[in-house]
Amino acid sequence: MKFSCQGERPCARVLAKAMCGIIGYVGRHRAKDILMDGLKRLEYRGYDSAGIALLEGSELRIVRAVGQLEALIRKAAPLELAGTVGIGHTRWATHGGVVEENAHPHRSSDGKIALVHNGVIENFATIREFLLSRGYCFASETDSEVLANLIAYHYGRGGGSGEKNHFGESVRRALLHVQGTYGIAVLCEDRPGELVGARNSSPLILGIGDGEHFLASDAAGFAARTRDVVFLRDGELVWASGEEFLLTNLCQERVEAQRQELDWDLTAGERGGYPHFMVKEILEQPQALENAMRGRFSADGSTAHFGGLAMTPQELRQVERIVLCACGTAHCACLVGEYLIEGLARIPVEVEYASEFRYRNAPMDRHTLVLVVSQSGETLDTLEAMREARRKGFRVLAITNGVGSSIAREADGGIYQHAGPEIGVASTKAFTSQLCLLALFALYLGRLRDLSFDEGVSIVEVLRAVPGQVREILLQGEAIRRIAERHGRCRDMLFLGRQVLFPIALEGALKLKEVSYVHAEGYAAAEMKHGPIALVTPECPSFFLACDGATLPKTISNMHEIHARGGPIIAVLSQGSAVPREIVDDPIWIPRAHGVALPILAAIPIQLFAYHMGVLRGGDVDKPRNLAKSVTVE
Ligand code: AGP
């Protein structure tokens, strides 16, 4: 799909926040199986608890369990649940602790309505007060239960009206009073063949099957059953039975559904024979890099080109400043992008945390281009930063792996990563694919300015060689596992690199923290002597990214400083490196490479190291504690 521009809908109330995975089904098949399968594919969005609600004739049955989906599957296994309409949820806690009462689906106190919700109802306290005064009561601490009751309240006011869409209308009326974000799927005990969903700032996708409809916060939830989809937009509501659906906005106006065909390789989202998604995705990087580059080099092999930028070369030549905006690992990718764009295109670049940028009111002149980077395309901080920039009239481009995601749809233009689904919570292949695309973008901008034809050709050659070089590095997986084994008991680590490898040091520390829970800090190598060196002991290893480059002699001095203090050194080195072997305890070799390729190559060992540390220390590397893949809360 091409990136497209989408204006705000007149009646959409654009608010903030959201999280979790939701799924809904109405059709002829056993909903329980479809919901469980969907939840498995959505579990990356949260795994504090999970639950399903099914309509068994006119009886509403709810099963919920704390912990990963496995717990729910075990609990539901002995139950006879044959209903063909249902909703399901996998939770990342926002309001209320991780206990069964707070797990979704939530049921209204009159028993009529069951709801799953992804988001945050900001005015839930006021609504709760109102409902308490009307005799409703609450079993949980969640904001979502308040919404279930508010829908029940409006449903009750209709006096059980027999009109066809009375249920959908009750949901609409309730939402008119809600401030906050939501992707919801709702069931009503009196309406056994109906399902209602709505969206505001939390994704919701309708799947259209043969005599059946699906709802999910990510099309992966139902893509095994249909590829025919409608991405709901903010302020839209859908009512569905098995046979038909109706899309409206909150102003009760009918909306023309824009149906799209998903073009997905479903097996890409399976773990296959691999022990974890994380290692599968690390090993998929050569392919992901090839996909990122496919069709993106000019015929003369001297530059890159992109189909969806929606900016002419003339417009891009007017750009005098670029702001790169992202969170987490994507932010580390942007820091590399800063070096590459400034180096190749000589355009000043600033890198911002999306969460800070949004509230900072940074002065930006009219020749500033904003580029956001997000694997999921749903990270709320990034989405809101992008909206803020667009509100101020800036052109915003996006690099994302999330086809049809909120960021892809709202950006003025952009570049798809085509890395395939990334399920492991720790980002790996999406990161190197972002590095690759930022290199291509820098090359393109450079060639629009002063970068010569010959320089362009040599950079294209460098980039084309990267997937093969990554394959070579991946062969060292076992050697890196042994290094991890030697350091598996450490409590702290430093990651150190300079220039274009400094962001890789930051990413190395982030990756290690995420999957192994070892405390790690990333620093520009020379900064180490201004404070962090105090941490160095024989129990605190330093992981150097000490590849060939102009600053290598300085980095060698830093390595000596740590070695002299008894700190163990793991180092990523260029083949044939001049780094004295006696100061490196554990070397990892990568091919010599140009600065545009080096960050990608150096990222592979840090990912493998973090992965093996995580496995050795017994953590759940695919679903580390407290994290979720797509962070859709502020
Ligand atoms: C990556 O390992 C992290 N789990 C996290 O930092 C992630 O990169 C961040 O939340 C941004 O996500 P996005 O790329 O989907 O926007």
Answer CATH for 476-634 from 3.30.420.40, 3.40.50.720, 3.40.50.10490, 3.30.750.24 = 3.40.50.10490
Q: What is the pLDDT of residue 119?
A: 86
C-alpha dist (Å) from residue 622 to 178, 281, 284, 368, 611: 35, 11, 15, 38, 9
Active-site entry in 32, 280, 511, 629: 629
Whether residue 32 lies in the annotated active site:
no
DSSP β-bridge partners for residue 237: 198, 248
From 336, 376, 438, 633, the mutation candidate for ligand 1 (largest count of ligand atoms within 8 A of CB) is 376
Residue ranges, comma separated, of all CATH 3.60.20.10 domains in the chain are 30-262
The tokens for 560 are 């000596």
Query: Which numbered atom of ligand 1 lies nearest the CA of 430?
Result: 14
User: Cβ < 6 Å from ligand 1: which residues?
Assistant: 327-330, 374-376, 379, 382, 425-427, 514, 630-631
Residue 17 confidence class, pLDDT cut points 50, 70, 90:
very low
Residue 159 confidence class, pLDDT cut points 50, 70, 90:
low
Nearest CA residue ID for atom 2, ligand 1: 426
Q: What percent of the chain lies above the pLDDT cut of 70?
A: 95
Residue 158 confidence class, pLDDT cut points 50, 70, 90:
confident
Residue 560 confidence class, pLDDT cut points 50, 70, 90:
very high
Residue 19 confidence class, pLDDT cut points 50, 70, 90:
low
Residue ranges, comma separated, of all CATH 3.40.50.10490 domains in the chain are 276-473, 476-634
Residue 77 confidence class, pLDDT cut points 50, 70, 90:
very high
- Separation of 270 CA from ligand 1 center, angstroms? 20
Average pLDDT of the chain is: 91
Does the domain at residues 30-262 carry the CATH identifier 3.60.20.10?
yes
Q: What is the pLDDT of residue 8?
A: 26
Q: What tens digit of pLDDT does each residue of 22-40 get?
A: 999 999 999 999 999 999 9
Q: What tens digit of pLDDT does each residue of 191-210 get?
A: 999 999 999 988 899 999 99
Exposed (0-12), middle (13-18) or buried (19+): which is 271, by Cβ within 10 Å? middle
The tokens for 19 are 């999280």
Q: What is the pLDDT of residue 43?
A: 83
Whether residue 325 lies in the annotated active site:
no
Q: What is the pLDDT of residue 621?
A: 94
Q: What tens digit of pLDDT does each residue of 461-491 get?
A: 999 999 999 999 999 999 999 999 999 999 9
Answer CATH for 276-473 from 3.40.50.10490, 3.50.50.60, 3.40.47.10, 3.40.640.10 = 3.40.50.10490
- Separation of 376 CA from ligand 1 center, angstroms? 8
Residue 518 confidence class, pLDDT cut points 50, 70, 90:
very high
Residues of the chain by 3-state class (helix, strand, coil), percent to 5: 40, 20, 40
Active-site entry in 20, 325, 332, 436: 20
Does residue 324 carry a pLDDT above 50?
yes
Residue 316 confidence class, pLDDT cut points 50, 70, 90:
very high
Please name the residues in contact with 478: beta carbons below 8 A apart, sequence gap of 6 or more. Answer: none
What is the C-alpha separation between 38 and 611, in angstroms, rounded? 27
Please name the residues in contact with 519: beta carbons below 8 A apart, sequence gap of 6 or more. Answer: 491, 492, 493, 513
Nearest CA residue ID for atom 4, ligand 1: 426
Q: What tens digit of pLDDT does each residue of 335-368 get?
A: 999 999 999 999 999 999 999 998 888 888 889 9
CB atoms within 10 A of CB 314: 8
What is the C-alpha separation between 590 and 518, in angstroms, rounded? 25
From 324, 358, 427, 607, the mutation candidate for ligand 1 (largest count of ligand atoms within 8 A of CB) is 427
CB atoms within 10 A of CB 164: 13
